[in-house]
Amino acid sequence: PKTDIVFLKVHKSASSTVMNILFRFGETHNLTFAFPQGGGFQLYYPHHFLARFVQGFSPLSPQRFNILCHHMRFLQPEVQKVVPSSAVYFSILRNPVQLMESSFVYYKGASAFSRVRSLQEFLSQPWRYYDPASGDRHYARNLMTFDFGFNPDGDVSPERVQLMLKAIEASFDFLLISEYFDESMVLLKEMLCWDLDSVVSFPLNIRDSSTKSPLPDSVVEKLKAWNRLDWEIYTHFNRTFWERIDRDIGRERMRREVRALRRRQAELARACLQGTGSVAPKDIKDSSLRPLQHGGARILGYNLKQGLAQELERTCRRLVTPELQYSSLLYKKQFPPPAP
């Protein structure tokens, strides 16, 4: 199994669920994480990543970390200073239409969104609300482009787009697609030589569907145009995703693997969870399993069954521990506080 990994955690793209998979794998195999200085949760995002943002990094010592997966704005020469040269680089993408709808609800406080009532209103005159000079502009336009390190207000000519796609292909071994999450996990397992249980997950950091509403076609077209660079990245890598599956796995085997993954997840859900799945924040009984609530979204969580056997309890708890709590726990393990 590959143990040196760089995951570019793209915002609002099922990346918290992938991060949980990496946290569990790293913890099980006693791997080291490139944590933000002081145990924060982002690597000085939205600044471009620098090696010195990582706790325990020193240019004088050649120490490398196994897994880099916290939010960052990608800058490969700096990333290469903190991970082994053998590291596998991957990320996950989401359809920019749904991505921006999610971003609008989640980052409602961002300067571009704070004065509008709806996404439709924003899209009717985006330049009235969007300021390319504001420090949080990226939440409102081409968020994936930004996370990959490029300019979200950049030129959309075919030549520039090609350069950007080539640069991403040169840096990343593969990109997953959040709309095909189970297929993505099978591909991940394949690329990293992991076993099935390593890529099993329950969806984390997902919001209650009461805040979601279907978008009219006219809005969808405006969203694509406004997020043109993201749309180019997404359509290109959605295509290469399926090309890779056809080449490396084949559709028939993919279907079998997806079935096996879903069976295993259903089995674990039955063993671990009270009720049928995720619940509203107010209904989460164990406060240590309550996810951070943000913006206008209601982020769901889980309740574990009572009286589980110790080993199963541990497995179940790890599967449903929200990102911030899990990150803190692993940070304390890797950098134990000095004894009083």
Q: Where are the domains of the chain?
A: 5-334
Name the architecture of domain 5-334: 3-Layer(aba) Sandwich (3.40)
Query: For residues 315 and 35, is the Cβ–Cβ distance under 8 A?
Result: no
> Could you tell me what percent of the chain has a pLDDT over 90?
86
Q: Residue 276's pLDDT band (boundaries 50, 70, 90)?
A: confident
Mean pLDDT on 228-236 = 98
Query: For residues 33 and 19, is the Cβ–Cβ distance under 8 A?
Result: no
Reported pTM: 0.95
Q: Residue 284's pLDDT band (boundaries 50, 70, 90)?
A: very high
Q: What pLDDT does residue 291 have?
A: 85
Cα angle for residues 276, 277, 278 (degrees, 5° grid):
140
CA pair distance 69, 91, nearest whole angstrom: 10
Q: What are phi and psi of 227, to 5 degrees?
A: -110, 45
Q: Residue 128's pLDDT band (boundaries 50, 70, 90)?
A: very high
DSSP annotation of 301: B
Q: In whole angstroms, how far apart are CA 309 and each of 265, 275, 305, 313?
A: 18, 18, 10, 6
301: left (phi over 0), alpha (psi -120 to 50) or beta: beta
- SS3 per residue for 179-239: HHHHHHHHHHHHHHCCCHHHHCCCCCCCECHHHCCCCCHHHHHHHHHHCHHHHHHHHHHHH
The residue count of the chain comes to: 340
Surface-to-core class of residue 58, CB atoms within 10 Å of its CB (0-12 exposed, 13-18 middle, 19+ buried): exposed
Mean pLDDT on 128-154 = 97
Nearest to 182 by CA among 5, 18, 4, 12: 18
Model confidence over 23-73: pLDDT tens digits?
Answer: 999 999 999 999 999 999 999 999 999 999 999 999 998 789 999 999 999
Q: What pLDDT does residue 293 have?
A: 85
Q: What pLDDT does residue 209 have?
A: 72
Q: What pLDDT does residue 242 have?
A: 98
Mean pLDDT on 16-20 = 95
5-8 vs 88-93, strand pairing mode:
parallel
The answer to whether residue 194 scores a pLDDT higher than 90 is yes
Mean pLDDT on 253-263 = 98
Model confidence over 197-216: pLDDT tens digits?
Answer: 999 999 888 877 766 778 89
Mean pLDDT on 145-154 = 98
Please, what's the b/e burial string for 246-264 (b: 16 or more CB within 10 A of its CB; e: otherwise)? eeebeeeebeebbeebeee
CA dihedral 189, 195, 198, 202 (to 10 degrees): 80
Query: For residues 139 and 226, is the Cβ–Cβ distance under 8 A?
Result: no
CA pair distance 244, 251, nearest whole angstrom: 10
Q: Which two tokens stand for residue 313?
A: 């309890």
Q: What pLDDT does residue 211 have?
A: 67
